[in-house]
Amino acid sequence: MNVMNTTAPIINLHNISFSYPGGRTVLEDLDFQFYKGDRVGLIAPNGSGKTTFFHIVMGLTTPTSGTIELFGKEVAHSKDFEEARQRIGFLFQDPDDQLFSPTVLEDVAFGPLNLGKPKDEAIDIARQTLADLGLAGFEDRVTFKLSGGEKRLVSLATVLAMEPEVLLLDEPLNALDVDTSKKIAEIISNLDLSYIIISHDIDFALYTTDKICTIADGKIQFEDDAHVHEHRHIHPHGKVPHQHEDV
Ligand SMILES: Nc1ncnc2c1ncn2[C@@H]1O[C@H](COP(=O)(O)OP(=O)(O)OP(=O)(O)O)[C@@H](O)[C@H]1O
Ligand SMILES: [Mg+2]
């Protein structure tokens, strides 16, 4: 056993910079370390580079400079990412980027099948995952005819069915109604997984994660305690005095 790797970050980005061709610099000298058990919320303005950051971690976008280590190993070329991708469940911001099979069951079973599970087992996992997300009965629905919210949930099912070690969720509540959002928040917070969640919903992020970060000046920046305490949602029952109440 490699003792060093047991304490290494499972995602380690160093000096990452990125610009889209002809565009402004989106990420600049970004450093980010993410450890097993971390549950991080990423809240930052539109266009600040959140999705780009996830795409770089997944190897879908190649940074202009910098290094990436996943699970203690440096990854550089697309084939290096393939193994890591089997362990990281990535929820795309747009479900249409995620779903490609004719029916819901085929889409959700695809991941387990691709990981080498026998067909019966993959189908069982897919059915169970759909049921857990309140989608029992959707198995034979035509994927591209689902509503936006239904597509979002099926996308989440495709990710969870792969039983990943880490989740990167890009706006998982997008297009979901209030009750479904609450249910998804409950499901996510009960997962015994490490994850990073991009969201514009501070309440959801605070409920499901332990640390909140943002992107500013092209870098991931963790909120310090004093800043987080500004939000009324942190201590809804007023148990901890607010630093800013008298200001
Ligand atoms: N394929 C692309 N080509 C050129 N520019 C792009 C491309 N994709 C994104 N951008 C630009 O890069 C910047 C960062 O985009 P990104 O999608 O990472 O932002 P985001 O923080 O996820 O935003 P949102 O909250 O709207 O999802 C934006 O200014 C965007 O317009
Ligand atoms: Mg985005």
| Element spanning 216, H or E | strand 211-216
Give the number of the ligand closest to the Cα of residue 25. 1
Distance (angstroms) between ligand 2 centre and the Cα of 164 equals 22
What is the token pair recorded at 243?
């630093």
**Is the residue at 217 inside a domain?**
yes
The whole-number pLDDT of residue 7 equals 80
Between 17 and 1, whose confidence is greater?
17
On whether both 195 and 211 belong to a single domain, the answer is yes
Distance (angstroms) between ligand 2 centre and the Cα of 1 equals 38
On whether both 178 and 217 belong to a single domain, the answer is yes
**Is the residue at 245 inside a domain?**
no
The whole-number pLDDT of residue 224 equals 67
> In this predicted model, what pLDDT tens digit does every residue of 145-186 receive, in sequence order?
999 999 999 999 999 999 999 999 999 999 899 999 999 999
User: Mean per-residue pLDDT for 62-73?
Assistant: 96
User: Mean per-residue pLDDT for 81-94?
Assistant: 94
The pLDDT > 70 percentage for the chain reads: 88
User: Mean per-residue pLDDT for 42-62?
Assistant: 97
Residue 233 has pLDDT above 50, yes or no: no
Residue 238 has pLDDT above 90, yes or no: no
The whole-number pLDDT of residue 76 equals 86
**Is the residue at 238 inside a domain?**
no
- Ligand 1 contacts (CB < 6 A) are 20, 23, 26, 44, 46-52, 93
Distance (angstroms) between ligand 1 centre and the Cα of 213 equals 18
Among 146, 164, 182, the domain boundary falls at 164
Q: List the alpha helices (DSSP H) in the chain.
A: 3-6, 50-58, 78-85, 95-98, 104-114, 119-132, 148-160, 178-189, 202-208, 225-228
Give the number of the ligand closest to the Cα of residue 26. 1
On whether both 20 and 79 belong to a single domain, the answer is yes
Reported as a pLDDT band with limits 50, 70 and 90, residue 6 is: low
On whether both 67 and 188 belong to a single domain, the answer is yes
Nearest residue (CA) to ligand 1, atom 27: 46
CA angle 89–92–94, rounded 5-degree value? 155
Closest CA to 79 of 59, 97, 98, 61: 59
**Is the residue at 244 inside a domain?**
no
Q: Can you give the residue range of the structural domain that contains 178?
A: 9-87+166-231
On whether both 14 and 80 belong to a single domain, the answer is yes
The whole-number pLDDT of residue 240 equals 47
The pLDDT > 90 percentage for the chain reads: 83
**Is the residue at 247 inside a domain?**
no
Give the side-chain half-sphere CA count within 13 A for 64. Answer: 15
DSSP letter assigned to residue 224:
P
On whether both 195 and 77 belong to a single domain, the answer is yes
**Is the residue at 134 inside a domain?**
yes
Nearest residue (CA) to ligand 1, atom 26: 46
Between 231 and 199, whose confidence is greater?
199
Mean pLDDT score across all residues of the chain: 89
Among 164, 197, 217, the domain boundary falls at 164
Closest CA to 111 of 124, 97, 96, 126: 126
Report the CATH number that the domain containing residue 73 is assigned in CATH. 3.40.50.300
**Is the residue at 4 inside a domain?**
no
Q: Measure the N-to-C terminal CA separation of the chain; round to a whole number of Å.
A: 54
Give the number of the ligand closest to the Cα of residue 53. 1
Place of tokens 């999705």: 51
Distance (angstroms) between ligand 2 centre and the Cα of 137 equals 31
What is the full DSSP assignment across 71-117?
TTEEE-SHHHHHHHHTTEEEE-SSHHHH--SSBHHHHHHHHHHHTT-
Nearest residue (CA) to ligand 1, atom 31: 47
The whole-number pLDDT of residue 78 equals 81
Nearest residue (CA) to ligand 1, atom 25: 46
Number of domains observed in the structure of the chain = 2
